[in-house]
Amino acid sequence: MDFSYKKSTIALNILYGLFLLLFTVCISFWVIRKSILEWDETPLFKIIFGYTFIILFTLITYQYLSLALIRRKYYLLNKTFNIEFDTKKREIRITDKRNNNLKIFNFEDIKTVELYYSWNSTPFSSDLGYSKLTIKNDNPIIITQNNINQYIVYKAFKSIVILNKSRFVNNFDIKQLLN
């Protein structure tokens, strides 16, 4: 794929998100303090504007910080596992980079497939889609969008795809996969 996760970029996004969080908390403190102490002297439109500003910055901070943390999960997954998808041999090779274990699954071992697309086409979140393959007698496999394109997965398993979901961003539980 054309996008790769970089540790430095993710760290900067998290730091920027934390800066936004700190800024939002400070602004919220001053707006709430002023509205409480000077309630009688402050016009209603200034109070409404101040609280709207707080809500807007809270939403922006939440969105930016949560995207950075989710992108970090994708980075950790791609850093831990190397997944090769061979349609000719009809097998999936998963190498655990921590201990160099290799697992090979045939396409017949796949029970169900769930596809989670990221509908946003901007670099802000377009790379946050994944495919979840449920395997008979084993843990599910998560293949990120920039590791193997979801269209390739769809073409290989279109008869057993049970879920096709399109969201702005897709999150998953990484603790379950790293055990």
Low-confidence ranges of the chain (pLDDT < 70): 1-5, 120-126, 176-179
- Supply the pLDDT for residue 20: 92
Question: Model-level pTM greater than 0.95?
Answer: no
Rounded Cα–Cα distance for residues 125 and 2 (Å): 14
102 sits in which H/E element:
strand 101-106
Alpha helices in the chain (DSSP H): 7-37, 44-80, 150-157, 174-178
For residue 119, how many C-alpha atoms fall within 13 Å in the half-sphere facing its CB?
Answer: 5
Rounded Cα–Cα distance for residues 176 and 73 (Å): 12
Nearest to 140 by CA among 162, 109, 118: 109
